[in-house]
Amino acid sequence: MGKTYERIDGRLRKFIEEQHLFFTATAPLAEDGHVNVSPKGLAGSFAVLDEHTVCYLDLGGSGAETIAHLRENGRITLMWCAFTGPPKIVRIHGRGVPVFRDDPRWDDLLPHFGEEFRRRTDLRAIIVVTAERVSDTCGYAVPHLDYREERPLHTQRFARETEESFAVYCEKKEHVAVSLDGLPGLPLPLPPRTS
């Protein structure tokens, strides 16, 4: 039923890139820490860099749990489910790192995303994940769901922000600089963009 792969090959890459939604899972080291699972899915906000590396944009929001967990221990799992077509689930277990706006790697990573994303004022980080284990399973229990369209609400909400107002927004949110468990989250004040 399930298989493990050495790399994100052409077939797996095609499957991943065709999905409209994926999930990220991270956790702190503390036994009583909060496990975090986040849905991601704005078209164009995810990229496969090579056979072992993927990345996605971390956009404006009310928390920064993934960033905090990655800064503490780097562990992350990404998961895609086929809601249409043959049943399938793909997981990438790996090590992740948040690349912040003032990081020298920012300018090399940003071109992997569409122009509309590169212009956004709510870019907080680019999460880069190096795969340690790539696997798939059957997905027989995943329901069929029809994709209708992207929700424009997130994009519309943050389109109202300037660089300055978005920095203020981040500083006002309780769990952006510090996670639910007290771990360092997004560095504030928000670093200016290098590009």
**What is the tens place of the pLDDT at every residue in 1-49?**
689 999 999 999 999 999 999 999 999 999 999 999 999 989 999 999 9
**What is the tens place of the pLDDT at every residue in 123-163?**
999 999 999 999 999 999 999 999 999 999 999 999 999 99
**Which of the four pLDDT bands, split at 50, 70 and 90, describes residue 101?**
very high
115: Cβ contacts below 8 Å, ≥ 6 apart? none
CB atoms within 10 A of CB 22: 20
Q: Residue 149 has what DSSP assignment?
A: -
Tokens, residue 2: 């399930």
CB atoms within 10 A of CB 62: 11
Arithmetic mean of pLDDT over the chain: 95
Burial grade of 92 (CB within 10 A; 0-12, 13-18, 19 or more): buried
CA distance 130 to 133: 9
- Least confident segment among 96-100, 112-116, 130-134: 112-116
Identify the pLDDT of residue 195: 66
Distance of CA 80 to the CA centre of its chain: 12
